[in-house]
Amino acid sequence: MLFPKDLIFFLYTFVVLDLASLGQTCDQPSEFSVPGDYIIAGAFPVHSETMNTKSSPEVDVCERSDFNDHGYHLFQAMRFSIEEINNSSHLLPNVTLGYEIYDTCSESANLYAALDFVSLHDFRYVKMQNNFTSYQPKVIAVIGPDSSELAFTTASILGVFLMPQISYEATNEVLSVKRLYPSFLRTIPNDKLQVEVLILVLQYFNWTWIAIVGSDNDYGRQGLQSLYDLTVENEICVAYQAIIPYVTNGQRAEEVKQIVNSLRQTGVRVVVVFSTKRVAKVFFEAVTQKNVTQMVWLGTEDWSMSPWVSDIPNIETIGTVMGISVKQVGLPGLREFESACVNSGKNSGSQMENCNQICHKCQSFSPQSLPTLSAFDLQASFNVYTAVYAVAHALHELLGCGSGACSRGTFFPWQLLERIRSISFTLHNQTIYFDKEGDPVIGYDIAMWERTRESWSSVAIGSFHRNPRGLDIITGNLKWHTKDNQVPVSICSKECEAGEMRMQTGVHQCCFVCKLCPKMTFLNKSNLYECQPCLTHEWSPPKSETCFNKTIEYLYWTEPIALALLSATIVLFLLAMAIVLVFVLNVNTPVVKSAGGKMCFTMLGSLVCACCNLFCYFGVPTKMTCMLRQPVFAISYTVCLSCLVVRSFQVVSIFKLAAKFPTFYDFWVKKNGPTIFICVSSAIQMIISIIWISSQPSVPMEDSDHFENQIILQCSESISAAAVLEILYIGLLSICCFVFCYLGKDLPENYNEAKCITFSLLIYFFAWIAFFTTYIVYKGKYITAVNVLAILASLFGILVSYFVPKCYVILLRRDLNTTEYFQTSIQNYTRNKNSD
């Protein structure tokens, strides 16, 4: 590969050489020409490549090499297109195109041709100068050469002069780099696009375990590297890759056979062969000799349609052959032109009497012995045809031929190059134009070999289109060389089931074992080798490919259990208010006074407050409801319990302690002991609650740990030291109630509250033991309902066991609510105590 800086020295070296002297090494000129107003050069492999074993540099004599049928059709396609343009009335109307055609059978012949392209009109040398923008070589553009290897040389040289070069078969993607090859264009897609299509074909048939081999030249090596890079990106594993040498001796032949043996040992069923047709022929000859069968051979455009490979003996035994080919377009008239050329050669007066002078063999052609024009030849010939027309259309614009007559003015190569880059025209219903890299904007056909009688033919089974980018396969045209026409399978490991991740077992990521993803994880298709955890608000079952949003759960206002609890709360509230009303109306009766008098209203008020606090337990928890609901209940219940303690203590004091400790009793009564105790006791609980709220308040939280598919909205009523003190303090007051109730168990029936208070406290204990037991084993949304139920039971216990009996006496047993009745009870108690 030559770069512009290297070319200066390179060209100066050849300035001192008369290019004609290079040609004198041949027995006859290796080109023939037809004059015209503007000359287009063509480079075609009319003869096969020869190995250069010369000891001194000289141009190969191409006629000494084997005749190349394919190259013959290519150079005839160029002649055909130029004759057609010259006979056109609308394209270059008063301009005649001429041509010079070169046989590029070898690198040396190609170099000779490239230097001759840039020589001056009247002299066979290159005029060296600092600025080539005003340089006028004898040809205006070059069509060819055929291979990327040869194109690198010509593109490096012609790029210095900005001479347009349009290749019809050179596909190496590096040639599209305008910084290196500014004047290179082509009418065949580059290998980068071809590699992309090969990957799409592999993906379509799920072939992930493959081998790739390529020819030992720029085309094969660059294509192989690009293909390997894309297989890695698309999770296709290459079990084996190799470079196929061009066979020139026995050692190289053994290397090819070793490659075939290695392919058999890998166990792959699909092999991508990125090779030129010459090297592919050598490779498949070795494949047939080694009796390799039942394989799928995926080929590139250079050989997949070529008779060089399809005509190999016993090639039908190797399996299924698929390939990439440029979109097939017919070229009407080419075959007739070639036949006419042969006939015209016999008439020395004909304009085309020199038509076959480019090769000795051509002179012996007859219309019946012309080389077969295969589909592969037609496709490549159309590329040549397109290239010539591209130059003609650009020249048509450059010379201002749109007015009906061309100006025939002077122009320079770079001016024509600019026009070629920007042209767009239609040819045989195909829109022709070049992209910014100088590549054609066309797609590919996907072809499959099909055996018809004694020969092979290719059948289009699909196509690749560039806009929109995609691959279409016609499944009805697929004929696999397998049992029951089934698609061959080429994988290292069987695909995992949904929700199972891959665990790689070797160096290749396609070789793996499957392991199911556990719950709360999922398998993202972007990474099949790792189960990814769900987010905190998501969940998943085992073997899942996605995560689901967790259900948000809390105690809704409208659900049945909430409605039942709300109904009970309202009933409790109404009951408390009814008792308040009854006690207000009967505040001076003995029953109300024995129950505690005005202190009863403090108890009922605290119970009403606790009842109203229950509404904080329903709906979505908020910061305020979480912070207040537990402390409010604790303080309210503490006030009520403190009143019960005072009430129990007072009754015991009156009947048992007043006589024994009169001073203490007087102090208790005169210093407002009951009020002070209730206030101090409630204040202690209030201080504990304030400490709790200040140090570690209850806040709304989302519990996503206890249920896989739910998020429980609740309050963070954590067990802190203050919370424990709050519970213990209520327990202490309850114990005091029990003690005083026990001491007063033998008091008069009117004053004996032991049974009532004990019953209410037992309900309280059982309710909260049940709640904490449930809290330990269950963390769902209904734990809030259990909490509400425990509070309701505690409040109902006091109302029903302590206040309801009083209301019963007040409303239904008025005979028991008299001063006389209470005095009689006291007298009976005193008489019994004295008798004891």
- Cβ pair 388, 78 in contact under 8 A: yes
CATH class of the domain at 191-330+443-485: alpha beta
pLDDT recorded at residue 11: 47
Mean pLDDT on 555-573: 89
CA distances from 811 to 359, 589, 603, 815, 824 (A): 135, 12, 20, 10, 21
* Domain ranges (residues) in the chain: 4-50+59-188+334-432, 191-330+443-485, 511-548, 560-835
What rounded mean pLDDT belongs to the chain? 81
- Collapsing DSSP to helix, strand or coil, 657 comes out as helix
Decide if pLDDT at 393 tops 90: yes
User: Which residue in 72, 90, 12, 749 sits closest to 404, CA to CA?
Assistant: 90
Mean pLDDT on 244-258: 82
- Collapsing DSSP to helix, strand or coil, 449 comes out as strand
Please state which of the ranges 169-173, 193-197, 268-272, 587-591 shows the lowest mean pLDDT: 587-591
Residue with tokens 């029936």: 749
Phi-psi map region of 162: left, alpha, beta (phi>0 left; psi -120 to 50 alpha): left
* pLDDT one-digit tens code per residue, 276-330: 888 999 999 999 998 888 899 999 988 888 888 888 888 888 999 999 888 777 7
pLDDT recorded at residue 820: 67
Instruction: Using pLDDT thresholds of 50, 70 and 90, give the confidence band for residue 140.
Output: very high
HSE-CB for 316 with a 13 A CA cutoff? 8
* pLDDT one-digit tens code per residue, 632-642: 888 888 888 88
Residue with tokens 């080919």: 325
Decide if pLDDT at 730 tops 50: yes
Please state which of the ranges 73-87, 288-302, 354-368, 617-631 shows the lowest mean pLDDT: 354-368
Q: How many residues does the chain have?
A: 836
User: What is the enclosing helix (H) or strand (E) of 624?
Assistant: helix 623-652
For residues 203-240, one letter each, b for 16 or more C-beta atoms within 10 angstroms of the residue's C-beta and e for the rest, the string is eebebbbbbbbbbbbbbbebbbebbbebbeeeebbbbb
To 5 degrees, how large is the angle CA 456–CA 457–CA 458?
A: 130
CATH number listed for the domain at residues 560-835? 1.20.1070.10
Q: 422 exposed, middle or buried (CB, 10 Å; 0-12, 13-18, 19+)?
A: exposed
Please state which of the ranges 141-145, 185-189, 355-359, 768-772 shows the lowest mean pLDDT: 355-359
Mean pLDDT on 70-98: 91
pLDDT recorded at residue 30: 36
HSE-CB for 605 with a 13 A CA cutoff? 8
To 5 degrees, how large is the angle CA 532–CA 533–CA 538?
A: 130
pLDDT recorded at residue 469: 82
* pLDDT one-digit tens code per residue, 481-532: 887 888 999 998 888 888 899 898 888 888 899 999 999 899 988 888 899 9
**Measured between alpha carbons, how far is 362 from 381 in angstroms, rounded to an integer?**
18
- Collapsing DSSP to helix, strand or coil, 350 comes out as coil
Mean pLDDT on 427-454: 86
Instruction: Using pLDDT thresholds of 50, 70 and 90, give the confidence band for residue 92.
Output: very high
Residue with tokens 């001479």: 163
Q: 155 exposed, middle or buried (CB, 10 Å; 0-12, 13-18, 19+)?
A: buried
Mean pLDDT on 794-821: 79
Please state which of the ranges 119-128, 250-259, 384-393, 467-476 shows the lowest mean pLDDT: 119-128
Partnered with residue 445 across adjacent β-strands are 325, 463
Decide if pLDDT at 31 tops 70: no
At residue 285, what is the residue type? Answer: E
For residues 795-811, one letter each, b for 16 or more C-beta atoms within 10 angstroms of the residue's C-beta and e for the rest, the string is bbbbbbbbbebbbebbe
Contacts for 126 with CB less than 8 Å, ≥ 6 apart: 11, 14, 15, 115, 118, 119, 120
The 8-class DSSP code of residue 779 comes to: -
pLDDT recorded at residue 8: 44
**Measured between alpha carbons, how far is 819 from 811 in angstroms, rounded to an integer?**
16
pLDDT higher at 142 or 148: 142
CA distances from 359 to 61, 362, 373 (A): 11, 6, 18
Domain 4-50+59-188+334-432, CATH number (from 3.10.20.30, 3.40.50.150, 3.40.109.40, 3.40.50.2300) = 3.40.50.2300
**Measured between alpha carbons, how far is 317 from 292 in angstroms, rounded to an integer?**
8
HSE-CB for 90 with a 13 A CA cutoff? 0
pLDDT-above-70 percentage for the chain? 82
Please check whether the two domains, 4-50+59-188+334-432 and 560-835, share a CATH topology: no
User: What is the enclosing helix (H) or strand (E) of 185?
Assistant: strand 184-186
| Assigned token pair, 411 | 């122009």
pLDDT recorded at residue 23: 40
DSSP letters for 211-275: EEEEESSHHHHHHHHHHHHHHHHTT-EEEEEEEEPPP-SHHHHHHHHHHHHHHHHHT-SEEEEE-
- For the chain, how big is the Rg over CA atoms in Å? 51
The pTM assigned to this predicted structure is: 0.62
Instruction: Using pLDDT thresholds of 50, 70 and 90, give the confidence band for residue 258.
Output: very high
Compute how many other C-beta atoms are within 10 angstroms of the C-beta atom of residue 653: 20
Mean pLDDT on 775-804: 85
Decide if pLDDT at 54 tops 60: no
**Measured between alpha carbons, how far is 807 from 589 in angstroms, rounded to an integer?**
11
Decide if pLDDT at 141 tops 90: yes
- Collapsing DSSP to helix, strand or coil, 66 comes out as coil
Decide if pLDDT at 187 tops 90: yes
pLDDT recorded at residue 159: 92
Please state which of the ranges 18-32, 51-65, 409-423, 717-731 shows the lowest mean pLDDT: 18-32
HSE-CB for 119 with a 13 A CA cutoff? 21
Alpha-carbon torsion, ordered 722, 726, 727, 728, to 10 deg:
90
| Assigned token pair, 113 | 């041709």
**Measured between alpha carbons, how far is 500 from 762 in angstroms, rounded to an integer?**
56
Long-range contacts formed by 741-749: CB under 8 A, 24+ apart? 741/648, 743/652, 743/656, 744/648, 744/651, 744/652, 744/655, 744/656, 747/651, 747/652, 747/655, 747/829, 748/655, 748/825, 748/826, 748/828, 748/829, 749/825
Instruction: Using pLDDT thresholds of 50, 70 and 90, give the confidence band for residue 122.
Output: low
**Measured between alpha carbons, how far is 630 from 1 in angstroms, rounded to an integer?**
85
Quote the strand ranges of 383-537, DSSP E: 424-427, 430-433, 444-452, 455-466, 469-473, 500-504, 512-516, 521-522, 532-533
- Cβ pair 750, 594 in contact under 8 A: yes
- Cβ pair 555, 785 in contact under 8 A: yes
Please state which of the ranges 444-453, 543-552, 585-594, 649-658 shows the lowest mean pLDDT: 649-658
pLDDT recorded at residue 24: 37
Instruction: Using pLDDT thresholds of 50, 70 and 90, give the confidence band for residue 368.
Output: low
User: Which residue in 48, 107, 623 sits closest to 361, CA to CA?
Assistant: 48
- Collapsing DSSP to helix, strand or coil, 16 comes out as coil
Decide if pLDDT at 347 tops 50: no
Residue with tokens 């990439």: 324
* pLDDT one-digit tens code per residue, 632-671: 888 888 888 888 888 777 766 655 555 555 665 666 666 6
pLDDT recorded at residue 814: 74
* pLDDT one-digit tens code per residue, 664-716: 566 666 667 778 888 888 888 888 888 888 877 888 888 877 788 888 888 87
Instruction: Using pLDDT thresholds of 50, 70 and 90, give the confidence band for residue 758.
Output: confident
pLDDT recorded at residue 821: 67
**Measured between alpha carbons, how far is 176 from 159 in angstroms, rounded to an integer?**
12
Mean pLDDT on 533-557: 88
Q: 351 exposed, middle or buried (CB, 10 Å; 0-12, 13-18, 19+)?
A: exposed
Alpha-carbon torsion, ordered 391, 394, 399, 404, to 10 deg:
100
The 8-class DSSP code of residue 425 comes to: E
Mean pLDDT on 99-121: 86
DSSP letters for 475-503: GGG---SSGGGPPP---SSPPPPTTEEEE
| Assigned token pair, 640 | 């009520």
Decide if pLDDT at 209 tops 90: yes
At residue 808, what is the residue type? Answer: Y
CA distances from 321 to 108, 285, 344, 454, 628 (A): 35, 14, 41, 16, 80
Q: Is the peptide bond before 245 cis (omega within 30 degrees of 0)?
A: no
DSSP letters for 275-303: --HHHHHHHHHHHHHTT--SEEEEE-TTT
Instruction: Using pLDDT thresholds of 50, 70 and 90, give the confidence band for residue 352.
Output: very low
pLDDT recorded at residue 14: 46
pLDDT recorded at residue 813: 79
pLDDT recorded at residue 366: 57
pLDDT recorded at residue 47: 84
At residue 789, what is the residue type? Answer: L
Instruction: Using pLDDT thresholds of 50, 70 and 90, give the confidence band for residue 121.
Output: low
- Collapsing DSSP to helix, strand or coil, 32 comes out as strand
Q: Is the peptide bond before 145 cis (omega within 30 degrees of 0)?
A: yes
CA distances from 252 to 218, 219, 244, 257, 537 (A): 19, 19, 9, 9, 65
Decide if pLDDT at 346 tops 80: no
